[in-house]
Chain A
Amino acid sequence: GDSVTQMEGPVTLSEEAFLTINCTYTATGYPSLFWYVQYPGEGLQLLLKATKADDKGSNKGFEATYRKETTSFHLEKGSVQVSDSAVYFCALHTGNQFYFGTGTSLTVIP
């Protein structure tokens, strides 16, 4: 069935380091792909999305490209900040079904 697999955490980085969180998916149709973020004490919120192959989603310095050939949607940021510390969830939407990965906890230290 459809599913999302994302990189296990936790991830700890120094401020200004480069971030990659890997996400791969399995889907029978043509899904839309998302990254959601959960900051401490807050609800999940949409970070970025891509609705078709080769689309690049971007927001707040984060980027992810929908790669159909590798069934991937890796999240990247060139220079992380302490305020980026959160849990990041890769998600897939197809039909009326939603699938989330298990989440990757990121801690950025000054």
Chain B
Amino acid sequence: ETGVTQSPTHLIKTRGQQVTLRCSSQSGHNTVSWYQQALGQGPQFIFQYYREEENGRGNFPPRFSGLQFPNYSSELNVNALELDDSALYLCASSPVQGAMTGELFFGEGSRLTVL
């Protein structure tokens, strides 16, 4: 059984650029959520996707957007990057029942540095 995989693992961007992060969910999982983890902090919920629709969103501006594809993989897009966007971005998948109870399966993350 393949777990949650994320790409790229590391990337460097400059302020104002745009970035796309990708996530493949664990086999059989149809719900994907994204988190931002700043250094020394806990993960902050960005949004969740189920059946290709966003069905939950944290306190992040609209320049953070996402997609979920029919195979349940997902993308996180961040426009107009700011220095404070530098963080580890985590993807988590779950079967729908797990999403309802908060049981998440995390990838190892994509570390974004904004210069």
Interface residues of A (CB under 8 A from B): 4, 32, 34, 36, 42-46, 49, 51, 89, 91-93, 95-103
In the assembled complex, how far is the CB of residue A47 from the closest CB belonging to chain B, in whole angstroms? 11
**Which residues of B line the A interface, CB within 8 A?**
3-4, 33, 35, 40-45, 48, 55-56, 58, 90, 92, 99, 101-109
Taken together as a complex, chains A and B put the C-alpha atoms of A109 and B4 apart, in Å, by 31
Query: Cβ of A102 and Cβ of B42 under 8 Å apart?
Result: yes
CB-based nearest B residue for A94: B102
Nearest CB in chain A to that of B109: its residue = A43
B44 touches A100 (CB 8 A): yes
CB-defined contacts of B101 to chain A, threshold 8 Å = 32, 49, 51, 93
Complex CA distance for A92 and B101, rounded to whole angstroms: 10
Is A96 a contact partner of B109 (Cβ separation < 8 A)? Answer: no
Bound CA span A59–B104, Å? 16
CB-CB < 8 A to B104: which residues of A?
A: 36, 44, 46, 98
Asked if B102 contacts A98 (CB within 8 A), the reply is yes
From A102, which residue of chain B is reached at the shortest CB distance?
B42
Q: How far is the CA of A98 from the CA of B91 in the complex (A)?
A: 13
Give chain A residues whose Cβ lies under 8 Å from the Cβ of B58.
97-98
Known contacts A43-B106, A92-B102, A98-B43; can you find 7 more A-B pairs with CB under 8 A? A32-B101, A43-B109, A45-B106, A93-B102, A100-B44, A100-B45, A103-B41
| Inter-subunit contact A97/B40 (CB<8 Å) | no
CB distance from B51 to the nearest CB of A (A): 13
